[in-house]
Amino acid sequence: MATKSKSTKKAPSKASKAEMLKYYRDMLLIRRFEEKAGQLYGMGKIAGFCHLYIGQEAVVTGMQSCLKEGDQIITGYRDHGHMLACDMDPKGVMAELTGRTGGYSKGKGGSMHMFSKEKNFYGGHGIVGAQVPIGTGLGFANKYRGTDNVAVAYFGDGAANQGQVYEAFNMASLWDLPVVYVIENNMYAMGTSVARHASETELFKRGISFEIEGEEVDGMDVLAVREAGEKAVKYARSGKGPYILEMKTYRYRGHSMSDPAKYRKREEVDDIRSHHDPIEGLKGQILEHGHATEDELKDIDKEIKAIVKEAADFSLESPEPDPSELWTDVLKDVEVA
């Protein structure tokens, strides 16, 4: 129970060439997408709260590789990366950020509130920690229906202090619900470091009194994430109940676009970027194994840039929602028998 994973920075690579290139591509798409979103925010095209995932790409990319059709994903407001990992269309995500009719929520949700039932992405939730009981309910539905699907509920180190998280842990363990809780510990709850907000900073231990297995994982290493994720998902899928993975990760940008991040030193960020970057780390392994050449990776980069450009163009061309949309989707119509 609640063990630290043995995975080191460079996990023994069991991944195939195709898998490693896919993870590289997927992480790069998130990185470039978020950089573009940051740029559009600076231009005033995206407004409100906008929380970028840059630095944390390995977490969602590694976890997604462990899932199968029908498994559900839910997260908080730092959600762009999760949506792209769920194979949602970057155009629809970016157009939601710009508040346009082509967005996943027709422009009515924004950065923090996007969903895709088709891709089993259940949001996109703006209230810190609210997604944890909801995600537990997704697991409850899987068990109720007798499927072997697993729900993955992501939340941050800040949300790990919300009471409802523990209410959910208790029920999930009591009823052996198929839920994997992924704590994305990026070291800061907005501006408050883990040491300043958590009495027990090893968050994978937070399930101990609920008898939930927990594990600490190097969240900057996509293959380490995948290895831990496979174990956790297999455990939940087999009916043994929930599992906690604490992903040690880092966000390069501030909490949101309006956060200057003065609570940490520039050197700290630079050190992680230089020595622990998930994309650079995987790139090194790909080159080391001879899975691709620098030029081939540059081609992937070009391809990703084109996808992101297309998404950005679409998000600016897509019209604002018609004023009549103000009144739609408040309630569903009741079918008359």
Q: How far apart are CA 203 and CA 191, in angstroms?
A: 18
Q: Does 134 bind another protein (CB under 8 A)?
A: yes
In the complex with another protein, the residue whose CB is nearer, 40 or 151, is 151
Q: How far is the CB of 115 from another protein (least distance, A)?
A: 4
Residue for token pair 């929380």: 51
What is the pattern of x (binds another protein, CB under 8 A) and - over residues 93-112? ----------xxxxxxxx--
Binding residue for another protein, selected from 13, 148, 164, 193, defined by CB under 8 A? 164
Q: Does 329 bind another protein (CB under 8 A)?
A: yes
Binding residue for another protein, selected from 17, 39, 144, 289, defined by CB under 8 A? 144
Stretch that binds another protein, among 212-220, 271-279, 287-295, 328-336 (CB under 8 A): 328-336
What is the pattern of x (binds another protein, CB under 8 A) and - over residues 286-305? --------------------
What is the pattern of x (binds another protein, CB under 8 A) and - over residues 53-82? -------------------x-x--------
**Cα separation values, 174 from 71, 139, 166, 178, Å:** 21, 13, 12, 11
Q: How far is the CB of 142 from another protein (least distance, A)?
A: 8
Q: In one letter, which amino acid is 77?
A: Y
Q: Can you name the residues that pair with 156 across neighbouring β-strands?
A: 184
Q: In one letter, which amino acid is 110?
A: G
The residues that touch another protein, with contacts defined as CB under 8 A, are: 72, 74, 103-110, 113-117, 122-127, 130, 132-142, 144-145, 151, 163-164, 166-168, 170-171, 174, 328-335, 337
